[in-house]
């Protein structure tokens, strides 16, 4: 017997789907800004292994020579991005949803088991309620990353008026690098997130769109009466 | 004994699932289409001063927020002489074509005659040195060492106090090719100087010989080289980069 089970509240879905384009616009406009002084690279010794970013990437995305435009977008959409983030956090706190999201004492150990399971190196899936241990850590970390982006962002944006914030980030140049690394973090998060969503399947994805999941309860056996069956993990 | 089927059967669980899924998906897609439409309109909007109108409005709103909360007491971090770069980066030559030697600073007052001020007159005033992290709007920064007359000292010395009660200062190169507008609180901040020295030596041509603006509370685009004219106004003076899509305020 199929059952409709509520999963994600409308507010959560709203914040999620608003955040996606907002963050995309922030990263894209950030790239327009970064291009004007694209100094970051990974090197071993004196050899540059990877340059952020290769010319081909800039060309294919139409990045070059849009610094002014990038700043104009960045400093407009930042307000929407920040507001959406604040409302999301406020909602999770007021509704008590944070209890599902905040890592538990055992989460860090369990998260490792989740990773092993996802990599098919472990057979049993660790038990969880709404989110598994790895999700709790990821979804909490992403909020702190968001806060980090806002803090380092303002440190770069107003390094004199907010000189205390800039100092807190370790200075202007450090704040710029931190701001950049967080973006790389979002991109990696996105890749893993998309992979997991595809892997987990439609029922889970629908939860973030329609808000419910469909649970298949095993049909009661004819010999038993009024007995509830618990779904085995 | 079978009854005729009711006109409206209650929805089966499968129907409920399908309906709710389609409704939600449809809503999401509709919102996406609307959002994308707004985005397209924003992208294709006509420009005001080098950038889409709505984005210009956004910059102006930010200017109000950060202009009104601007605190003169907040200073750009200062460094020691040894931390200052020996080779000071040059970025831009607009307005430096007129390199004649008979330079004189012209100060245009809304009322009363204009002033003509020589470099020696400026050098006779107390010298202020500023060693700070010069920040270019492109993203790079460099600690550099400048010396000159504090703008607020200049205002007092040449009896421009009434003018300094106005909203803006405008600066222009002698050839009028480069020009900036600065809000008065930023201009009067104690680290703003009319610089005639870099690393203790007279300004070379590429750094705006003989006099340039150094204003650590702003991006480099506002640090006009080779000042020809200084004026005061309540309306925003024209600004070279603000006409080309950049933020007028450009405050740090």
Could you tell me if residue A86 is inside a domain? yes
pLDDT in tens, A57-71: 999 999 999 999 999
Nearest to A161 among B20, B25, B71 (CB): B71
pLDDT in tens, A149-190: 999 999 999 999 999 999 999 999 999 999 999 999 999 999
Asked if pLDDT for residue A220 goes beyond 80, the answer is no
**What is the CATH superfamily name and number for domain B73-244?**
Oxidoreductase, molybdopterin-binding domain (3.90.420.10)
Asked if pLDDT for residue A107 goes beyond 90, the answer is no
What residues contact residue A21 under an 8 Å CB cut-off, 6+ apart? B35
* pLDDT on residue B114: 92
Q: Give chain A's domain count.
A: 1
pLDDT in tens, B204-225: 999 998 999 999 999 999 999 9
Asked if pLDDT for residue A100 goes beyond 70, the answer is yes
For residues A83 and A232, which has the higher predicted lDDT (pLDDT)? A83
Domain CATH number, residue A156: 1.20.950.20
Q: What is the mean pLDDT of chain A?
A: 90
* pLDDT on residue A232: 46
Mean pLDDT of B145-153: 97
* pLDDT on residue A126: 80
* pLDDT on residue B57: 95
Asked if pLDDT for residue A132 goes beyond 80, the answer is yes
Which residue pairs, CB below 8 angstroms and at least 24 apart, start in B28-35?
B28/A17, B28/A209, B31/A17, B35/A21
Mean pLDDT of B167-183: 95
Residue A120 — pLDDT band, cuts 50, 70, 90? Answer: confident
Residue A231 — pLDDT band, cuts 50, 70, 90? Answer: very low
Mean pLDDT of A4-23: 94
Alpha-carbon separation of residue A197 from A9, B24, B105 (angstroms): 18, 18, 66
What is the ipTM score, two decimals? 0.90
For residues B111 and B231, which has the higher predicted lDDT (pLDDT)? B231
Lowest mean pLDDT across A176-180, A194-198, B3-7, B243-247 = B3-7
Buried b (16+ CB within 10 A) or exposed e, A78-92: beebbebbeebeebb
HEC secondary structure over chain A: CEEEEECCCHHHHHHHHHHHHHHHHHHHHHHHHHHHHCCCEEEECCEEEEECCCHHHHHHHCCCCCHHHHHHHHHHHHHHHHHHHHHHHHHHHHHCCHHHHCCCCCHHHHHHHHHHHHCCCCCCCCCCCCCCHHHHHHHHHHHHHHHHHHHHHHHHHCCCCCHHHHHHCCCHHHHHHHHHHHHHHHHHHHHHHHHHHHHHCHHHHHHHHCCEEEEECCCCCCCCCCCCCCCCC
B22 to chain A: closest CA residue: A210
For residues A126 and B183, which has the higher predicted lDDT (pLDDT)? B183
Whether residue A72 and residue B51 make contact (CB cut-off 8 A), yes or no, is: yes
Residue A222 — pLDDT band, cuts 50, 70, 90? Answer: low
Residue B3 — pLDDT band, cuts 50, 70, 90? Answer: low
Could you tell me if residue A229 is inside a domain? no
Q: Let me know how long chain A is.
A: 233
* A vs B: CB pairs below 8 A: 102
Mean pLDDT of B120-132: 96
> Half-sphere exposure of B218 toward its Cβ, with a 13 Å CA cutoff?
28
* pLDDT on residue A233: 43
Q: From the CA of B151, how many Å to the nearest CA of chain A? A: 18
Mean pLDDT of A198-216: 91
Asked if pLDDT for residue A229 goes beyond 70, the answer is no
Whether residue A210 and residue B24 make contact (CB cut-off 8 A), yes or no, is: yes
- Please give the model's pTM, rounded to 2 decimal places: 0.89
What residues contact residue B64 under an 8 Å CB cut-off, 6+ apart? none
Residue A127 — pLDDT band, cuts 50, 70, 90? Answer: confident
Whether residue A17 and residue B31 make contact (CB cut-off 8 A), yes or no, is: yes
- E strands, chain B, in order: 47-48, 51-52, 105-108, 115-117, 128-135, 141-150, 168-172, 179-183, 193-198, 201-202, 212-214, 229-233
Domain with A185, as residue range(s), is: 2-34+71-216
Q: What is the mean pLDDT of chain B?
A: 93
Asked if pLDDT for residue A128 goes beyond 90, the answer is no
Highest mean pLDDT among A73-82, B12-21, B108-117 belongs to A73-82
Q: Does A75 touch chain B (CB under 8 A)?
A: yes
* pLDDT on residue A223: 58
Residue A116 — pLDDT band, cuts 50, 70, 90? Answer: confident
What residues contact residue B38 under an 8 Å CB cut-off, 6+ apart? none
Nearest to B21 among A33, A163, A206 (CB): A206
Q: Which positions in chain A touch B13 (Cβ < 8 Å)?
A: 1-4
Q: From the CA of A85, how many Å to the nearest CA of chain B? A: 19
Q: With CA atoms as reference, report the closest residue to B66 among A29, A79, A214, A129.
A: A79
For residues B72 and B37, which has the higher predicted lDDT (pLDDT)? B37
**pLDDT > 90 fraction of chain B, expressed in percent and rounded:** 85
Pick the residue of A160, A164, A170 with the most B CBs within 10 A to test the interface with B by mutation.
A160
Asked if pLDDT for residue B101 goes beyond 80, the answer is no
Sorted by where each begins, the domain ranges of chain B are 73-244
pLDDT in tens, B11-37: 888 888 999 999 999 999 999 999 999
Q: Which positions in chain B touch A210 (Cβ < 8 Å)?
A: 20-21, 23-25
Could you tell me if residue A227 is inside a domain? no
What is the C-alpha separation between B161 and B118, in angstroms, rounded? 20
A32 to chain B: closest CA residue: B138
């Amino acid at each position: 017997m199929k059952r409709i089970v509520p999963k994600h509240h409308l507010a959560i879905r709203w914040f999620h789907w608003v955040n996606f384009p907002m963050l995309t616009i922030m990263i894209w406009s950030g790239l327009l800004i970064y291009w004007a002084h694209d100094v970051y690279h990974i090197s071993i010794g004196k050899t540059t292994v990877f340059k952020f970013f290769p010319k081909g990437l800039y060309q294919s995305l139409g990045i070059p020579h849009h610094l002014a435009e990038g700043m104009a977008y960045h400093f407009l959409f930042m307000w929407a991005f920040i507001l959406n983030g604040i409302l999301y956090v406020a909602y999770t706190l007021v509704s008590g949803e944070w209890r599902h999201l905040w890592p538990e004492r055992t989460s860090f150990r369990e998260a490792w088991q989740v990773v092993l399971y996802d990599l098919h190196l472990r057979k049993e899936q660790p038990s969880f309620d709404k989110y598994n241990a790895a999700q709790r850590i990821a979804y909490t970390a992403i909020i702190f990353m968001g806060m980090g982006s806002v803090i380092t962002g303002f440190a770069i944006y107003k390094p004199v008026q907010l000189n205390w914030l800039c100092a807190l980030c370790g200075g202007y140049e450090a704040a710029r690098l931190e701001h950049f690394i967080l973006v790389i973090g979002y991109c990696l998060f996105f890749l893993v997130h998309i992979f997991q969503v595809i892997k987990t399947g439609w029922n889970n994805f629908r939860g973030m769109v329609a808000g419910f999941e469909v649970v298949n309860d095993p049909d009661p056996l004819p010999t038993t009466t009024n007995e509830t069956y618990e779904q085995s993990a | 004994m079978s009854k005729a089927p009711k006109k409206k059967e209650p929805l089966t669980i499968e129907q409920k699932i399908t309906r709710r899924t389609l409704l939600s998906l449809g809503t999401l897609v509709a919102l996406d289409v609307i959002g994308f439409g707004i985005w397209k309109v924003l992208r294709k909007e006509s420009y005001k001063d080098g950038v889409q109108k709505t984005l210009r409005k956004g910059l102006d709103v930010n200017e109000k927020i950060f202009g009104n909360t601007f605190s003169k007491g907040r200073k750009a971090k200062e460094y020691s002489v040894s931390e200052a770069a020996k080779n000071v980066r040059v970025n831009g030559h607009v307005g430096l074509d007129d390199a004649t030697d008979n330079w004189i600073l012209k100060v245009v007052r809304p009322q009363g005659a204009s002033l003509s001020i020589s470099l020696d007159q400026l050098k006779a005033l107390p010298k202020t040195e500023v060693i700070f992290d010069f920040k270019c709007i492109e993203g790079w920064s460099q600690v550099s060492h400048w010396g000159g007359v504090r703008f607020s000292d200049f205002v007092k010395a040449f009896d421009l106090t009434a003018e300094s009660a106005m909203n803006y200062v405008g600066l222009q190169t002698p050839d009028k090719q480069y020009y900036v507008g600065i809000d008065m609180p930023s201009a009067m901040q104690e680290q703003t100087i009319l610089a005639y020295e870099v690393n203790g030596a007279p300004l070379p041509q590429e750094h705006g010989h003989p006099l340039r603006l150094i204003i650590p509370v702003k991006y480099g685009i506002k640090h006009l080289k080779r000042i020809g004219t200084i004026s005061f106004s309540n309306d925003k003076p024209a600004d070279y980069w603000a006409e080309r899509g950049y933020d007028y305020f450009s405050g740090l």
